[in-house]
Each structure stands twice: as C-alpha cells, then as structure tokens.
Structure 1
Amino acid sequence: MSDVKLNSNKSFSDEDSEILNRFIEFQQALIDKDEDKLNEILTEKYELIHMSGKRQTKEEFISEIMDGTLNYYESEIIDPTVLWDDSERPTLVADVTLTAKVYGIKGKWTLDTTVGFEKIDGKWYFSKWDN
C-alpha cells in the first residue's frame, strides 16, 4: 500500500503521467527512506529549497533523511499540473501535503511545490524541488 495519495480529477497525457508517477515514486522513497531510489531519481546537481529558504544539495538532503533529521510519513499530491517550457525540462506544480517530522517538529504542512525535471537517457530525473 502506498503512503502517497493523488488528489486530482484531471486526465494526463502519457508523458505527463510518466512525470507524475516519477514524483509519486520520489515521495514514497522519502517515506521509505530508500537511499538507492533517492539517488536514482535525483540528478547530481539536484537542489532542494525548503520553505524556510534553506538550500540543500542532493547529498545533504539524502543524508538528513537517512540520519532521521527529516522524516516523512504521508504525502498527498493535490491538483498537479505539468508545465512544458521545452521537451526536455518540464516542471510539475502542485500543492503537496506532507505529514512529517522535520528538524524535530512534527506536523502536517501543505507546500506550494514546484519540481524541475530533466530527461536523461529516456528517463525523468529531478533537478530541483522548490517548496
């Protein structure tokens, strides 16, 4: 059973569905603390921008997930939209409600989320998560 729920009445093209499914995989990997999957999905130049404005590299982000500084329990993706500036770098925009314990504070937050994707060798990868 997935800890990630999709809340949308939209229908998606095949390519938009691939991107959305990749985001769902990522959210589940956060919850499962699946280091291998996180390393697979995130590009080497990945950057997370927390709602506080704090910026983290891929290595810093994964490290804090694995050491328990960042703990994710549930995710709900609300009304996602995939925006296309060009065919290789789309952006997924959605509200994402995360149940988490972050830096010692447990709660449920709805994040105005923007995720940049990049296609490498026919597969979608995250390059940036801004929330």
Structure 2
Amino acid sequence: MSDVELFCEKSFSGADQEIVDSFVEFQNALIEADTKKLDEILSDDFRITQAPNRSQDKNEFISEIGDGSMDFSKSDIMDPTILFDDDESASLISKVRLTAKVYGRELRWISDTVANFRKTDGIWHVIGWDS
C-alpha cells in the first residue's frame, strides 16, 4: 500500500494524467526520502515555498529530506485540477494533507498546494511547489 493517496472523482487522461502521475511520484519520493529520484523529478531551478518567509532551492530541499530534517510519512492529494499555460508548462492545484516530522516536530496539516511543472525532453518536471 502506498503512503500517497489520490482522492478524486474525476478521471484524467493525456497530459493531465502525466502531471498527476508526476506529482504522485514526487510525493512518493518525499515519503521514501529518495534523494536520487527527487533530483530527477525536480528541475534544477526548483523552488519550494513553505510559508510566507520560508523558501528553499532544490539543493537545500533535497538535503533536508536526505538528512531527515523533513521526514514525510503520508500524502493525501484531494481533487487536483490541472491548468495549462501552454503545451510545456502547467500547474496542479489541490489540497494536500501531509503528515511529517519537521525539525523533530510531528505535524499533520492540509496545504492549499500549487505545483508548477515544465515539460523537458518529454518529461514533466516540478519547477515549484507552493505548499
């Protein structure tokens, strides 16, 4: 059983399904603390915004996943919507319920998530995650 669950009544196909699959793969890599997979999924210019005054680049984020500072254990993705800017850039908008140990504190919260994607060489990469 996966620790990433998708709660959604609508079905996806084509590029929409590819983006949903990429986001699920990203969430799984977080939970598994798979830094190699995260390096593949995240674009080199990736940025995560976790709070109004908290932002990290790709290397900082992956480092904190790898050293256990951020230890994700569950992700529930609820009713995602995919919006396209063009054929090679899109956003996934969803509520995401996350369970994690962050800097030693056990937390569970629901995030209004926006994950931005760019398609490079036929693969959708996460370029930003506003959680």
TM over 0.5: yes
Q: State the distance in 2 between where 1:63 and 1:85 align.
A: 31
The aligned residue for residue 27 of structure 2 is: 27
Distance change >3 Å, CA 102–CA 52, structure 1 → 2? farther
Displacement of 1:52 in angstroms is 4.8
* One-letter code aligned to 1:46: F
Offset at 1:57?
A: 0.5
The equivalent of 1:42 in structure 2 is 42
In structure 2, stretches of 5+ residues that fail to align are none
Q: Structure 2: which amino acid aligns with 1:74? A: K
- Number of residue pairs matched by the alignment: 131
Flag structure 1 segments of 5+ consecutive residues without an equivalent: none
* Residue 60 of structure 2 corresponds to residue 60 of structure 1: yes
- The runs of at least 4 aligned residues of structure 1 exceeding 4 Å deviation read none
What is the identity, as a one-letter code, of the residue corresponding to 1:49?
Answer: T
1:87 aligns with 2:87: yes
Output the CA distance in 1 between the equivalents of 2:124 and 2:35.
18
> TM-score scaled by structure 2?
0.97
CA positional deviation for 1:102: 1.0
Q: Note the C-alpha offset of 1:13.
A: 2.4
- Normalising by structure 1, we get a TM-score of 0.97
What secondary structure, in the 3-state scheme, does the structure 1 residue paired with 2:20 have? Answer: helix
Name the structure 1 match of 2:110: 110
Cα displacement string for residues 98-119 of structure 1 (whole angstroms, at most 9, x for unaligned residues): 0101122212110000010000
Q: CA RMSD in A?
A: 0.9
Q: How far, CA to CA, are the matches of 1:88 and 1:23 in structure 2? A: 16
